[in-house]
Structure 1
Amino acid sequence: MKLDSTDKLLLELLQSDAKQSVKALASQVNLSATAVYERIKQLERNKVIQQYTIQLNTEKIEKEFLSFCMIQLTKHSQAYLLEFESKIKDLNEVLECFHISGTYDYLLKIRVKNITEYRSFMVNKLTDIPHIANTQSAFSINEVKNQAGISLLT
């Protein structure tokens, strides 16, 4: 599916506030509500829009501690990679996991309440996963930018 400028604008608007009514979106893109509704449904059918989500205030839910953990496996066999990826998907503390290039094999984004909870996660959950050779953690001191949306108009 090729996106035109109206599709891109609609996606930008939905990323900034997915709760906007179709009528409000229509007035911003100068189309009828019916036309906007059909465009959104087409974007959903074509998997351009994969899901709608919300962003939580981490202080209010007591998940303020953000860590990035790099994982090195003992060997790069397909079986080890698949086993690691399968097990990491079951850990709720892990928000994101990326298979990366370089010295380390994976980069994890982990969110927990505090350093004590992070230590418990590392000792009781992460290091129980087989084939981990090395880990290195970095902790967020200050959130400078946290943008979930992807710019389409620049």
Structure 2
Amino acid sequence: MLDKKDQQLLIALQANARMSVADLASHISLSDTPCLRRIKKLEQASIITGYHAAINPKALKLNVLVYAFVRLNQNSASAARQFEQHVEKLTHVLECSVISGSYDYLLKIIAHDLESYEQFVKHQLGSLSCIANIESTVVLKQSFSKKQLPL
């Protein structure tokens, strides 16, 4: 389980993953070597799964965020596997979640504009034969998006 130092380390890394080990160690009142050992332990335990740059999508002209609800035409392991393998390869799909209710999946999709989203649905997503229905909800404005988990 995580102790207080591990939690402090994770909080600091979530805020700034580019902090040097020396700065992290100082921030949580440890020396460099034990701090680095803790980081490696957290990585090996798959608690830290990677380090990423936060990029402003609008700076890349990715202006449309869509949540798409997808229903498969059959509730089978092979249809789910086919769908998941296909959408994982689609670069515009940021997240894929299995959900409960009348739909099977919720996708978070980013696109340049509504026209490019339409083309994406018709030619990349909708081309899958295992899909019975897609319902899209366009985000008008994103008030906030948190990246840090509560610890």
* TM-score interval, smaller chain: over 0.9
Q: Is the 8 A contact 1:84 1:130 kept in 2?
A: no
Give runs of aligned pairs for residues 86-101 of structure 1, distance below 5 A. 86-101=85-100
Tell me which amino acid in the other structure corresponds to 2:109: I
Which residue number corresponds to residue 145 of structure 1?
144
SS in 1 for 2:107: strand
Displacement of 1:115 after TM fit? 0.4
- Poorly superposed stretches of 4+, deviation over 4 Å: none
Displacement of 1:23 after TM fit? 1.2
How many residues are treated as equivalent by the alignment?
Answer: 151
Which residue number corresponds to residue 126 of structure 1?
125
Q: Could you tell me how far apart the structure 2 residues matched to 1:151 and 1:135 are?
A: 33
Which residue number corresponds to residue 110 of structure 1?
109
Q: Which segments of 5 or more consecutive residues in structure 1 lack a partner in the other structure?
A: none
Seq. identity, %: 34
Q: Could you tell me how far apart the structure 2 residues matched to 1:72 and 1:38 are?
A: 45
Q: Could you tell me how far apart the structure 2 residues matched to 1:101 and 1:20 are?
A: 39
Q: TM-score, normalised by structure 2?
A: 0.97
Which residue number corresponds to residue 26 of structure 1?
25
Which residue number corresponds to residue 83 of structure 1?
82
Displacement of 1:42 after TM fit? 1.1
Q: TM-score, normalised by structure 1?
A: 0.95
Q: Could you tell me how far apart the structure 1 residues matched to 2:112 and 2:54 are?
A: 17
Displacement of 1:58 after TM fit? 0.8
Give RMSD over aligned pairs.
Answer: 0.9
